[in-house]
Chain A
Amino acid sequence: MAEKVNIIVFSGDLDKVLAAFNLALGAAAMEMKVTLFFTFWGLNVIRKDKKVSRTRGIMRKILSLVNRGGVRRLPLSRLNMGGLGRSMMKKLMEDSKIPSLEETIKMAQQMGVEFVACTTTMGMMGISREDLIPEVGRLAGVATYLGEATEGKINLFI
């Protein structure tokens, strides 16, 4: 049976998310079974560019204005400089023939990496299933992660 790798993607920072996806791709190439659990700011990675569902409540409306989802909006954890740092990083990646995060997400899915979204943060932030990209296969909670983590050889929190 294939060894299992579970990665919690808590961060919504482009650099950290790239590290998570590189590990996921590498593990899939090593014939391991990989599951990525997206929670909290990590949900921004698997959110569509535009919010589809209606947001209820003033706090959630404010949050959805200041915390917009979508891969292209993810900031760098350091030296983001209002998005300038992110643009420079993307240019550097392109020049170095490093696939963009968008391409990496597609590759991960083609290689069988599973995407799970955390329902607790979704509920709290007012994010619905239709706000998430179609690559997300399952919505689940802590019990699912823990269940799979006990079977996992490698469990990471990023």
Chain B
Amino acid sequence: MKADAILDTLGLYCPMPIVKTAKKIKDLKIGQVLEVISDDEGIKEDMPAWCRRTGNEFLRIEEGEGEYRVYVRKLK
């Protein structure tokens, strides 16, 4: 999946991946996609929850070897 921006949060535990996501998404335009890379398993539940709360769109999650790529579309 193609993203407009990538955020590397490898090695960071909760809540830092969503804290950094909240910051990073401000740099994007509406409709653009942010890819967040994380090795914290909590991201699987936390990113959809963050998206529901903030009104952004959770697109999909790709699981690799011990790492997750999460795609979020900025909606507001």
Residues on A facing B (Cβ under 8 Å): 22, 25-26, 28-32, 96-99, 107, 111
Judge whether B14 and A29 touch: CB under 8 Å: no
CB-CB contacts below 8 Å: B37-76 with A: 49-50, 53-54
Tell me the nearest residue of chain A to B53, going by C-beta.
A30
Judge whether B22 and A97 touch: CB under 8 Å: no
Tell me the nearest residue of chain A to B46, going by C-beta.
A26
Residues on B facing A (Cβ under 8 Å): 11-16, 18-19, 21-22, 49-50, 53-54
Q: Given A26-B18, A26-B19, A30-B18, are A97 and B53 also a contact pair (CB < 8 Å)?
A: no
Judge whether B16 and A99 touch: CB under 8 Å: yes
What is the bound-complex CA distance between A61 and B7, given in angstroms? 50
Judge whether A98 and B54 touch: CB under 8 Å: no
Judge whether A22 and B15 touch: CB under 8 Å: yes
Q: Given A31-B22, A107-B19, are A26 and B53 also a contact pair (CB < 8 Å)?
A: no
What is the bound-complex CA distance between A102 and B21, given in angstroms? 21
3 closest Cβ contacts across the A-B interface? Answer: A26-B15, A29-B22, A30-B53
Judge whether B14 and A22 touch: CB under 8 Å: yes
B54 cross-chain contacts in A, Cβ below 8 A: 30-31
Tell me the nearest residue of chain A to B17, going by C-beta.
A29
Q: Given A25-B19, A26-B18, A26-B19, are A31 and B53 also a contact pair (CB < 8 Å)?
A: yes
B11 vs chain A, min Cβ distance (A)? 5
Judge whether B19 and A97 touch: CB under 8 Å: no
What is the bound-complex CA distance between A92 and B42, given in angstroms? 20
Tell me the nearest residue of chain A to B22, going by C-beta.
A29
What is the bound-complex CA distance between A146 and B43, given in angstroms? 34
Tell me the nearest residue of chain B to A31, going by C-beta.
B54
